[in-house]
């Protein structure tokens, strides 16, 4: 029940924020403002509903150290995507034609902030965290990662391969990042940094959502497995490889820090609904 309540509360903010961003589409400054407000409000609502449903402090979104963790995650995400673009460019698949739009990039900052925060709260803060308590870290990572990938099938230029790539490089990696850090700020920052680099800086298609107008005027061309095709570089084998590598790194950290939750075993005759787990 708490999973449903928490998911619906954050999803409501995501929906309202999405409608607000759609309403001001074309106005970069208003998109920036609405996106940032949506992001902040989503965290506030998540913290409130966790307190109400779990009767505990939402330490995974604690304000202490939040800025540093966000910044650290954003650096990792941006560096990862820059490495992907560098590899695509090395194979002549990414071309810069000049400067793009500063105001367009500002609007994308708001859009990406809202997307990163709401998606991480929903998929890592609610789904992964609560499901993990019952079935353990590894299976929860697999299941929620697949669901995260399938969600991207609803994007305009989505493909089955693109959704699969997102599941592997983002769904698995971001869950692993949460498992390693046990806070949501680093995965939020990583998600934001990745998307920001893709859309606001390198101006490529993000998750099949059409062309982005960022700081660079750029295009991609070539084999889809190299460039990602219409889905964008996230459908590139380079992006998948980067995501797999970081998933391994984060899960290694989680194991070393003792953060791996084993699959819960019920005592003989114990009902599934009342079994408990120590963490």
Residue 263 pLDDT > 90: no
pLDDT at 278 (0 to 100):
35
pLDDT at 208: 85
What pLDDT score was predicted for residue 20?
96
Q: Rounded to an integer, what distance in angstroms lies between the CA atom of residue 183 and that of residue 275?
A: 25
pLDDT tier at 268, thresholds 50, 70, 90? very low
CA angle 220, 235, 92 (to 5 degrees): 30
Name 216's bridge partners.
99
- Report the percentage of the chain scoring pLDDT > 90: 88
pLDDT tens digits for 37-93? Answer: 999 999 999 999 999 999 999 999 999 999 999 999 999 999 999 999 999 999 999
Query: Cα(18)–Cα(154) distance, rounded to whole angstroms?
Result: 15
Q: Which residue has the tokens 């590899």?
A: 87
User: Using an 8 Å Cβ cutoff, are 241 and 264 in contact?
Assistant: no
CA dihedral over 86, 105, 118, 152, signed as positive or negative: negative
Give the per-residue pLDDT at 266. Answer: 56
Average pLDDT along the chain: 93
Amino acid 277: pLDDT: 37
Question: For residue 278, what is the enclosing H or E element?
Answer: none
- Cα dihedral 261→266→272→278 (10° resolution): -40
For residues 93 and 84, what is the distance between their CA atoms, to the nearest angstrom? Answer: 11
The predicted pLDDT at position 1 comes to: 85
> Nearest to residue 148, comparing CAs of 125, 111, 123?
123
Neighbours of 34 (CB within 10 A): 24
Rounded CA gap, 251 and 248, in Å? 5
7 and 127 Cβ atoms separated by less than 8 Å: yes
For 28, phi then psi, to 5°, come to -65, -40
DSSP conformation letters of 124-164: IIIIIHHHHHHH-HHHHHHHHHHHHHHHGGGSTT--HHHHH
Tens of pLDDT, residues 164-190: 999 999 999 999 999 999 999 999 999
Report the pLDDT value the prediction gives residue 270, as an integer from 0 to 100.
47
> Where do the H-state alpha helices sit in 24-172?
28-54, 66-90, 102-120, 129-135, 137-151, 160-166
- 181-228 pLDDT tens trace: 999 999 999 999 999 999 999 999 999 887 889 999 999 999 999 999
Tens digit of each residue's pLDDT (9 = 90 or more) over 88-143: 999 999 999 999 999 999 999 999 999 999 999 999 999 999 999 999 999 999 99
């Amino acid at each position: 029940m708490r999973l449903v309540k928490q998911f619906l509360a954050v999803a409501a903010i995501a929906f309202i924020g999405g409608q607000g961003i759609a309403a001001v589409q074309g106005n970069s400054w208003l998109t920036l403002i609405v996106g940032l407000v949506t992001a902040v409000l989503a965290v506030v609502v998540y913290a409130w509903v966790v307190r109400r449903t779990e009767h505990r402090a939402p330490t995974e979104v604690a304000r202490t150290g939040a800025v540093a963790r966000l910044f650290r995650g954003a650096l990792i995400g941006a560096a990862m995507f820059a490495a992907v673009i560098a590899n695509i460019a090395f194979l002549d698949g990414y071309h810069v034609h000049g400067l793009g739009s500063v105001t367009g990039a500002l609007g994308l900052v708001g859009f990406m902030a809202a997307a990163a925060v709401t998606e991480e709260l929903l998929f890592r803060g609610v789904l992964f965290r609560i499901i993990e308590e019952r079935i353990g870290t590894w299976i929860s990572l697999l299941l929620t990662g697949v669901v995260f990938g399938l969600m991207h099938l609803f994007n305009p230029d989505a493909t089955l391969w693109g959704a699969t790539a997102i599941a592997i490089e983002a769904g698995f990696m971001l869950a692993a990042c949460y498992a390693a850090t046990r806070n949501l700020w680093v995965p939020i920052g990583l998600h934001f940094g990745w998307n920001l680099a893709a859309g606001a800086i390198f101006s490529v298609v993000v998750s099949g959502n059409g062309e982005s107008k960022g700081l660079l005027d750029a295009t991609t061309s070539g084999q889809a497995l190299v460039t990602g095709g219409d889905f964008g570089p996230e459908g590139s084998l380079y992006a998948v490889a980067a995501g797999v590598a970081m998933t391994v790194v984060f899960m290694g950290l989680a194991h070393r820090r003792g953060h791996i939750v084993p699959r819960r075993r019920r005592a003989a005759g114990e009902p599934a609904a009342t079994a408990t787990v120590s963490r």
